[in-house]
Each structure stands twice: as C-alpha cells, then as structure tokens.
Amino acid sequence: MGMSISTGGGPGEDEEPLSAINTTPLVDVMLVLLIIFLITVPVITQSVKVDLPKAANIPTQTKPENVNIAVDVDGNVFWNTGLVPTPEALLERLKVVAVMDPQPEIHVRGDKRTKYEHVGRVIVLCQRSGIQKVGFITEPDRGYRK
C-alpha cells in the first residue's frame, strides 16, 4: 500500500495535494475473487442429466479424487461423465479405485425415477470390489409436504 507523507516543510512551502487513487487494494480483492471463481466453477458443473430425489441431507465434501457414479432412468451407469457399458467394466474400475491409498469415496447419483434394482447393482459391485465409503447424492427438499 502506498502512502504520501509530508516532509514537514514550513508555511512558506507550496505543497500539491495527492490526487492519485490507490488501486492496489482493488486489484488484490479482484485477484482473490478470480481465484475463488476458478476453484468453484469446475465443482458446480455436471453434464449427466439426472433428476435427483429430494431428501434432508448434510453437505458433501467434494474432493477431486471422489468418484461420481450416476444412474439414469433407463439404468445406464455413468462413471463421472462417461458411460460404463457393462457391470463387469464397472467392477474392474471399482477394483482399481479400491486399492488406492487413501481410498476415494464413491458418490452415487440416482435419478428419482430409476428402479432401485439398478442402484442396488451399483452398491453390490462397490461392496464386491472392497470400497469402504459409498454415499448417495440427493437434492434438499425445499418445500414442506403435508
């Protein structure tokens, strides 16, 4: 931060008042906001469209190493954003993740119209592969039902 200090001259000295605006704090604030937006934007975007069920939940701690598995209405399974063709392929991917240290969490996002059978198969495959933490991602219920 810059600051102008008078040299303590006598009454006969002509001094010009400082008329420049110090923009350093403004630049600092803008850089902090830019960094915050750069960090939060990739976390917010999701490209697989599923209609999540409503439930009371606690906020998840999103970490880059967590694996998001989405199950759509037709029972198609997506690993992050890529379609997994068979249950065997999903089991192989889960086995690779299960041996990592520390083991990442598996977040299951199921469409609310999906049959439980499809989500249950994903959970069984997680159990067979040795995954320790499996969580369900839901949307908070914004209204009160009577």
pLDDT at 64 over 80: no
Short-list 133, 138, 116, CA closest to 50: 138
Extents of the domains making up the chain: 67-136
**In this predicted model, what pLDDT tens digit does every residue of 66-117 receive, in sequence order?**
899 999 999 999 998 899 999 999 999 999 999 998 899 999 999 989 999 9
What local confidence, expressed as pLDDT, does residue 143 receive? Answer: 63
pLDDT at 5 over 70: no
Of the chain, the end-to-end C-alpha distance in Å amounts to 58
Helices (H), the chain: 24-44, 87-98, 116-129
From 19-23, 32-36, 82-86, the region with the lowest mean pLDDT: 19-23
**Residue 140 tokens, joined:** 């908070």
According to the CATH classification, is domain 67-136 in 3.30.70.260? no
- Kindly give, in sequence order, each residue whose CB lies less than 8 Å from that of residue 33, ignoring residues fewer than 6 positions away: none
From 26-30, 47-51, 83-87, 139-143, the region with the lowest mean pLDDT: 139-143
What local confidence, expressed as pLDDT, does residue 6 receive? Answer: 56
- Kindly give, in sequence order, each residue whose CB lies less than 8 Å from that of residue 127, ignoring residues fewer than 6 positions away: none
**In this predicted model, what pLDDT tens digit does every residue of 117-127 receive, in sequence order?**
999 999 999 99
pTM given for the model: 0.56
Looking from the CA of 101 toward its CB, the CA atoms found within 13 Å total 0
